[in-house]
Amino acid sequence: MIEIKNIYKTFHTPHEVQALVDVSCKIEAGEVVVVIGPSGSGKSTFLRCINRLETANYGEILIEGIDIFSRKTNMNKIRAKVGMVFQSFNLFPHKTVYENVMLTQLEVLKRSKAKADKKTVYLLKKVGITDKAKAYPAQLSGGQQQRVAIARAIAMDPKVMLFDEPTSALDPEMISEVLNVMKALAKEGMTMVVVTHEMGFAKEVADRVIFMDYGRIVEEGTPEHFFKNPTHQRTKLFLDQILS
């Protein structure tokens, strides 16, 4: 479904950093891929390249066979099919929860109001935010905001969901409520790429774990293989530090 071929990305400001070096991988439909790695290893850049919030300097990414770095591609159409959830939620603060979920359905998908309303009510119920539909994002806790952000992304009926450290900005007690929503999504067969530090989530839900360091994919494998007997020295070190 998503094919990433030899992408390179270098940031020049404030100073030259090689964020991605020759990264290639394939993500099949229905697969849950968890990307882990130390900070600055290029996980987020990797994720942001998939819906072209960052443009790779070299290489190509195919989503359902469409090259997203090509000039001819209508990126808005692709992005509508690739949902993204951010670390800092990025809900629209001037719109209510309900409007946040409604807006893109009406404006981007051009759904009818009745249909969008039905979908919104259904999704807000699914993520457990029915009573706060008329509240503004600032009146919600971090966990609630992140759940609304997930609902907003699913409302577009995406083929794949990208999660960029969705629980990193949350209080510890709110992490589980967001992870539960994500687990439910994974069970429904959604294709997901998750950048996270939640090893529990990776063990439980992931079909495949990718470990990145210095912009390269160091190791790739099933959670069992990954957490029980990692082959690479760097992976062992990272897991030792994070799990102890």
Residues lying near another protein in the complex (CB under 8 A) are found at 51, 53, 76-77, 79-84, 86, 88, 90-94, 103-104, 107-109, 136, 149, 152-153, 156
| Gap between the Cα atoms of 7 and 28, Å rounded | 18
SS3 137: helix
| Gap between the Cα atoms of 149 and 166, Å rounded | 10
| Gap between the Cα atoms of 70 and 196, Å rounded | 29
Contacts by residues 221-226 (CB-CB < 8 Å, ≥ 24 positions apart) = 223/34, 226/202
Nearer to another protein, 33 or 155 (CB): 155
We find the least distance from the C-beta atom of residue 25 to another protein, in angstroms, to be: 21
Nearer to another protein, 62 or 108 (CB): 108
Nearer to another protein, 93 or 200 (CB): 93
Nearer to another protein, 100 or 235 (CB): 100
| Gap between the Cα atoms of 30 and 207, Å rounded | 9
Pick from 156, 212, 151: nearest CA to 182: 151
Nearer to another protein, 94 or 118 (CB): 94
We find the least distance from the C-beta atom of residue 174 to another protein, in angstroms, to be: 19
We find the least distance from the C-beta atom of residue 150 to another protein, in angstroms, to be: 12
Q: What is the CA radius of gyration of the chain?
A: 18
The Cβ of residue 196 has, within 10 Å, a number of other Cβ atoms equal to 21
We find the least distance from the C-beta atom of residue 54 to another protein, in angstroms, to be: 10
We find the least distance from the C-beta atom of residue 186 to another protein, in angstroms, to be: 20
We find the least distance from the C-beta atom of residue 192 to another protein, in angstroms, to be: 15
Nearer to another protein, 84 or 179 (CB): 84
SS3 62: strand
Contacts of 35 (CB under 8 A, 6+ apart): 43, 46, 47, 193, 194, 195, 196, 209, 210, 212
Nearer to another protein, 119 or 152 (CB): 152
Angle at 196 between CA 229 and CA 46, to 5 degrees: 95
We find the least distance from the C-beta atom of residue 219 to another protein, in angstroms, to be: 28
